[in-house]
A and B are shown apart, each in its own frame.
Chain A
């Protein structure tokens, strides 16, 4: 059975799960409504207290929407951060925290860390299976955009060659991310430091000209200004990475003797096997640390997965509580229909018909709330995605997926079962007391 299930296409699995989750709703509906047509009365009940009913629907929709919106957002965040790290196969740095280094190198949230010396860099760069070994240099910014020193081959790797203009070919040239509000040919002066602590004028006389713009990457590098690493070193009064007799040389190979050090080296190897080999080689040394950002993210996701499970449980519990509150509200609301229900029974309507009418009324509110909740969830994820993207520069697409549809379907079935309670309450009310109410 398990093999049969696993052998099904994913779409078929999702559809079948959806049907299974909606099955209780269908079965309850069939059992309750069989032989009756209470729709006109239900419409009348919905219309009579339309504002109160609308409030109930809205309450349910917000509860469902926020629950599934948060779940979708968490999934989108995982996908966005993973996609952002896509171009960073392996990072080598001085020993320390992998997460700190990943945040610095991939998500451009640098902190003060020890530097990898030139001979270690040379060892990595000279390795026969290394295709790219890009040193990174941080510390400056322009108008809020971080300036990152690196190499032209890394720019080509990062942008997949999708450049408007060209990569930098000389000191004083810059390539900008897609969201940097500068035009090709624009000139910029770096400020020392980043954010509110940036010191304008600290690098007076240093200027970059924008010669290329990368296509959108969906990560913080969209907001970065990439310049030759030699320029960053020179700006800070450090050696250029090359021997004094090669003053115009740009990019690798670097001369270890004149290499000022780098906080992180982004490494791209020929093959996956080679990448693993390199990590093994440089992670077992006392002076370096090598890690895959993807693996670090996976470990983070595992922790987040626990949080996610807790969030899911909390969302379900919250929705259950809201459904219960709505049930109590409905029980109170159905007292307003007490005379009408007593009338039906006085006219000879079977108890099951009255039951079906009240259940249909309650179920309509709950199902409408759940469906509207999907729309609220979609809007919530759009808003959250924009807020998070604006704060992290990580492109987050969090459309509602099957898990959210399944959650809404499960809630609907649960609510349909809970809707039996107010119907039962009405049925237990004495007819004569109802007629005199």
Chain B
């Protein structure tokens, strides 16, 4: 079940006192797709990290459904991510020595024993759905597009309500990027997941329901066409 995002008075300040992020208010309905864009260093990835609960010191409210991440301990935020969030990174962050299936099933390694087999099966099904028909191949032999699809399968292994993607197409050529955009939107919509994607890629941003522009850590929102 998708979760709504409600952000209010979110402020992230660097150790030196510089404001990295200042979002007075942002509401995203459950199952919506939000694109984040802006110049380099504007605070896009910081926003993504904040809504993922990865930033320890942030002020304000970051609520996914009824859960305010800003009010949780680091351990509780980790548990929330493990149960609700799938993350995709620009450079995939895969274990090159493992197979596609082992990579996609990494969340099974730290899941309760009773859920491990189910997570592994889900990882296998996700790989198949994303067109990766040889799940026991080492990911080091995969193309960039295939590797990013493995990381998408990994993000979906725990059937998350939220998918957070940081420049998911930046390392891919156009054809692979287009396919990934289609896959990402498809798995989010079909799974009724809330998607937040940071990107410079206009095609990815065009596929989102809304696009938020962040400049100097502050929002300059526009509705997607």
Assess the A37–B75 pair: CB atoms within 8 A: no
Q: Mark A1-44, 1 if CB is under 8 A from B, else 0.
A: 00000000000000000000000000000000001111011011
Residue of A at shortest CB range from B92? Answer: A343
* Chain A contacts with B in 313-358, Cβ cutoff 8 A: 339-340, 343-351, 353
Distance in Å from the Cβ of A35 to the closest Cβ of chain B?
Answer: 7
Residues of B within 8 A of A43 (CB): 97
Known: A40-B102, A47-B97, A432-B49. A348 touches B109 (CB 8 A): no
Docked complex Cα distance between A38 and B110 (Å): 8
The answer to whether B142 has its CB under 8 Å from any CB of chain A is no
The answer to whether A82 has its CB under 8 Å from any CB of chain B is no
The answer to whether B96 has its CB under 8 Å from any CB of chain A is yes
The answer to whether A431 has its CB under 8 Å from any CB of chain B is yes
Q: Mark A419-437, 1 if CB is under 8 A from B, else 0.
A: 0000000000011100100
Assess the A350–B75 pair: CB atoms within 8 A: yes
The residue that B87 contacts in the complex, of A37, A347, A350, A432, with Cβ under 8 A, is A347
Assess the B96–A349 pair: CB atoms within 8 A: no
Distance in Å from the Cβ of A405 to the closest Cβ of chain B?
Answer: 33
Question: How many residue pairs bridge A and B at CB < 8 Å?
Answer: 73
Distance in Å from the Cβ of B40 to the closest Cβ of chain A?
Answer: 13
Residues of B within 8 A of A285 (CB): none
* Chain A contacts with B in 48-101, Cβ cutoff 8 A: 48
Q: Mark A340-380, 1 if CB is under 8 A from B, else 0.
A: 10011111111101000000000000000000000000000
Docked complex Cα distance between A36 and B74 (Å): 19
Residue of A at shortest CB range from B154? Answer: A347
Assess the B52–A346 pair: CB atoms within 8 A: yes
Assess the B81–A346 pair: CB atoms within 8 A: yes
Residues of A within 8 A of B74 (CB): 351
The answer to whether B106 has its CB under 8 Å from any CB of chain A is yes
Chain B binding surface, main DSSP class: helix
Question: In this complex, which of A37, A344, A348 has the most chain B Cβ atoms within 10 angstroms of its Cβ?
Answer: A348
Assess the B55–A348 pair: CB atoms within 8 A: no
Total count of chain B residues near the partner, CB < 8 A: 31
Residue of B at shortest CB range from A37? Answer: B109
Q: Mark B92-130, 1 if CB is under 8 A from A, else 0.
A: 010111100010001101101100100000000000000
Q: Mark A125-159, 1 if CB is under 8 A from B, else 0.
A: 00000000000000000000000000000000000
The residue that A35 contacts in the complex, of B83, B87, B102, B112, with Cβ under 8 A, is B112
The residue that B81 contacts in the complex, of A41, A44, A348, A430, with Cβ under 8 A, is A348
Distance in Å from the Cβ of B31 to the closest Cβ of chain A?
Answer: 21
Assess the B55–A432 pair: CB atoms within 8 A: yes
Docked complex Cα distance between A121 and B80 (Å): 96
Residues of B within 8 A of A345 (CB): 78
Docked complex Cα distance between A48 and B56 (Å): 31
The residue that B80 contacts in the complex, of A340, A348, A353, A430, with Cβ under 8 A, is A348
Residues of A within 8 A of B83 (CB): 348
Residue of A at shortest CB range from B93? Answer: A343
Assess the B110–A44 pair: CB atoms within 8 A: no
Assess the A347–B106 pair: CB atoms within 8 A: yes
Known: A38-B109, A41-B109, A44-B98. A347 touches B89 (CB 8 A): no
Docked complex Cα distance between A103 and B81 (Å): 77
Residues of A within 8 A of B42 (CB): none
Residues of A within 8 A of B207 (CB): none
The answer to whether B63 has its CB under 8 Å from any CB of chain A is no
Assess the B87–A349 pair: CB atoms within 8 A: no
Residues of A within 8 A of B28 (CB): none
Interface residues of B (CB under 8 A from A): 49, 52, 54-56, 74-75, 78-83, 85, 87, 89, 93, 95-98, 102, 106-107, 109-110, 112-113, 116, 154, 158
19 residue pairs of the A-B complex, CB under 8 angstroms, read: A35-B112, A40-B102, A40-B109, A41-B98, A41-B106, A48-B96, A343-B93, A347-B154, A348-B79, A348-B85, A348-B110, A349-B82, A350-B75, A350-B82, A351-B75, A351-B78, A432-B49, A432-B55, A435-B54
9 smallest CB-CB distances across A and B, nearest first, come from A348-B82, A348-B81, A44-B97, A353-B110, A349-B110, A343-B93, A44-B95, A47-B97, A348-B78
Interface residues of A (CB under 8 A from B): 35-38, 40-41, 43-44, 47-48, 339-340, 343-351, 353, 430-432, 435
